[in-house]
């Protein structure tokens, strides 16, 4: 860094800053091209020169996100040096600065969770300005809850429980996140390794975790559940009994009581491959090797066949159920007795048998084609969304077909059957 520019940043002198710019108009641009560098904003943040900080941020907003040679952003430095006004200043410049990851993947929120004298002052502000920052993890896969201690842990947990900025699934994911040791927030809470809270407030925190549907039986790298950790940490203590009771009531178990699926996995993986499974694997591999153009062509052809077959199902070819028009007309004009009308009705019913058989044959063909289409689409479509849509449309169409075509036909067939049974009595 230019020595004069460094002195200007240390003094917070805006006039000297412009003197440096007059000497070299690219002095800030040259610095911005470096990946890791101590910018004037880093120095001003450490010294607490707010006006100088705003001036630099106005010229070079990118400096607010720049990391120095030790992996710290200006906001990290302001927190480390307890420059409260500078922290507020940088938050107002860009609230997403809370999510900048520095050394070890540590964000300003993670750093704040370690600073006991600033936690309660700035945690609400950070969460208000950038609610999504609670989802960030370090390279050890630690959330701010893994790092926070005492009241900071309680504040973060209750904020997660109350906030509407996160969906229930997002809350559950945050609370079930495991660090490199396999510990979830629940493991740490029941162990009190980092969570220094009075027993009553600690139990309240555990109740909140259980209400958020945390995985109470997750195991860490030592194969310990939260119940195992609780019993090991509170031997002979009344609080241990109360916490263990809460965990057991929520379905918590010791590691030895949790069934393992390892033997089942080995059984499935080591089982003999049947000829049906071999055929399916070969078919799947062939489809995956198919080019995009060929896959698209196959998809179009199958859709056309599916459409034509369904149309044929709804409107079968001529000759089925049409009968002799002349004969029907003569019968209608000459047969006036009830017996004659019933015979005519039965005759027309028999003529519909061919159409009924044709409909069912086409329905079976349609279903077969649909299964082939869904299988192909499942391989072609990465998300399977198209498969779900086509299946839903097909299921709806088949339901409507049954309601409007098959159901009346069944009722008609039952009516004819009863007429045949009653015909001898009428004669």
Domain coordinates in residue numbering, the chain: 1-93, 129-271, 275-426
CA atoms within 13 A on the CB side of 337: 6
Percent above pLDDT 70 for the chain: 61
When pLDDT is averaged across residues 308-320 and rounded to a whole number, the result is 56
98-133 in b/e burial notation, b at 16+ Cβ within 10 A? bbbbbeeebbbbbbbbeeeebbeebbeebbebbbeb
Report the pLDDT averaged over residues 5-32: 90
Q: What is the mean pLDDT of the chain?
A: 77
Weakest-pLDDT range from 16-25, 64-73, 329-338: 329-338
Q: Which CATH superfamily is domain 129-271 in?
A: Ankyrin repeat-containing domain (1.25.40.20)
Q: By 3-state DSSP, what share of the chain in percent is helix, strand and coil, each rounded to 5?
A: 70, 0, 30
pLDDT at 332: 46
> What is the arithmetic mean of pLDDT over 50-67?
92
Given pLDDT bands bounded at 50, 70 and 90, which one contains residue 325? very low
Tell me how far apart the alpha carbons of residues 234 and 76 are, in angstroms, rounded to a whole number: 37
Residue 104 has pLDDT above 60, yes or no: yes
Q: What is the pLDDT of residue 116?
A: 85
Average pLDDT on 27-55 reads 92
Domain 1-93: top CATH class: mainly alpha
Residue 322 has what pLDDT? 47
Taking the model in full, what pTM does it have? 0.62
Distance CA 153, CA 194 (A): 9
- Report whether pLDDT(306) > 70: no
pLDDT digits (tens, 9 = 90+) for 181-206: 999 999 988 886 556 777 788 888 88
Which of 313 and 366 is assigned the larger pLDDT? 366
> What confidence tens digit (pLDDT) does each residue in 357-387 have?
555 666 666 666 666 666 665 555 545 555 5
pLDDT at residue 320, as a whole number: 46
State the CB neighbour count (10 A cutoff) for residue 144: 27
Instruction: Give the pLDDT confidence score for residue 388 in this predicted structure.
Output: 61
Please check whether residue 65 is in contact with residue 100, taking contact to mean a CB–CB distance below 8 angstroms.
yes
Q: What is the pLDDT of residues 160-186, one digit of tens each?
A: 999 989 888 899 999 999 999 999 999
pLDDT at 418 > cutoff 60:
yes
Q: How confident is the model over 388-412, as a mean pLDDT?
A: 62
| pLDDT at residue number 73 | 95
Which pLDDT band, with edges at 50, 70 and 90, does 395 fall under?
Answer: low
């Amino acid at each position: 860094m230019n020595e004069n520019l460094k002195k200007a940043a240390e003094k917070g002198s805006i006039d000297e800053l412009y003197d440096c710019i007059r000497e070299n108009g690219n002095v800030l641009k040259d610095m911005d091209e470096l990946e890791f560098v101590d910018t004037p904003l880093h120095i001003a943040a450490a010294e607490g020169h707010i006006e100088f900080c705003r001036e630099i941020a106005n010229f070079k907003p990118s400096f607010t996100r720049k990391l120095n040679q030790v992996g710290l952003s200006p906001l990290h430095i302001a927190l480390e040096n307890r420059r409260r006004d500078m922290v507020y200043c940088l938050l107002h410049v860009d609230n997403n600065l809370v999510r900048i990851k520095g050394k070890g993947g540590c964000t300003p929120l993670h750093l704040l969770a370690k600073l006991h004298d600033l936690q309660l002052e700035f945690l609400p502000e950070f969460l208000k300005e950038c609610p999504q920052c609670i989802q960030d993890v370090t390279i050890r896969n630690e959330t701010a809850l893994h790092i926070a201690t005492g009241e900071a842990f309680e504040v973060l947990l209750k904020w997660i429980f109350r906030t509407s900025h996160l969906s229930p699934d997002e809350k559950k994911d945050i609370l079930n996140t495991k660090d490199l040791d396999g510990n979830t927030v629940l493991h740490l809470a029941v162990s009190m390794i980092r969570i220094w809270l009075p027993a009553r407030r600690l139990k309240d925190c555990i109740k909140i975790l259980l209400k958020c549907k945390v995985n109470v039986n997750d195991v860490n790298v030592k194969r310990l559940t939260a119940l195992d950790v609780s019993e090991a940490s509170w031997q002979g203590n009344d609080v241990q009994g109360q916490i263990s009771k809460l965990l057991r009531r929520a379905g918590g178990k010791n590691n030895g009581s949790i069934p393992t699926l390892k033997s089942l996995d080995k059984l499935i993986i080591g089982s003999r491959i049947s000829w049906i499974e071999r055929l399916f694997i070969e078919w799947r591999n062939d489809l995956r090797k198919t080019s995009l153009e060929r896959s698209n062509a196959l998809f179009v052809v199958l859709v056309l066949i599916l459409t034509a077959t369904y149309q044929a199902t709804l409107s079968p070819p001529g000759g089925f159920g049409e009968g002799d028009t002349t004969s029907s007309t003569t019968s209608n004009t000459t047969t006036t007795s009830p017996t004659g009308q019933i015979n005519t009705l039965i005759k027309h019913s028999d003529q519909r048998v061919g159409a009924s058989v044709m409909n069912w044959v086409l329905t079976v063909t349609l279903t077969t084609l649909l299964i082939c289409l869904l299988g192909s689409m499942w391989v072609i479509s990465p998300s399977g969304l198209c498969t779900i849509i086509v299946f839903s449309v097909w299921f709806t169409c088949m339901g409507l077909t049954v309601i409007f075509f098959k159901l009346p036909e069944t009722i008609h067939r039952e009516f004819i059957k009863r007429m045949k049974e009653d015909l001898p009595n009428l004669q």
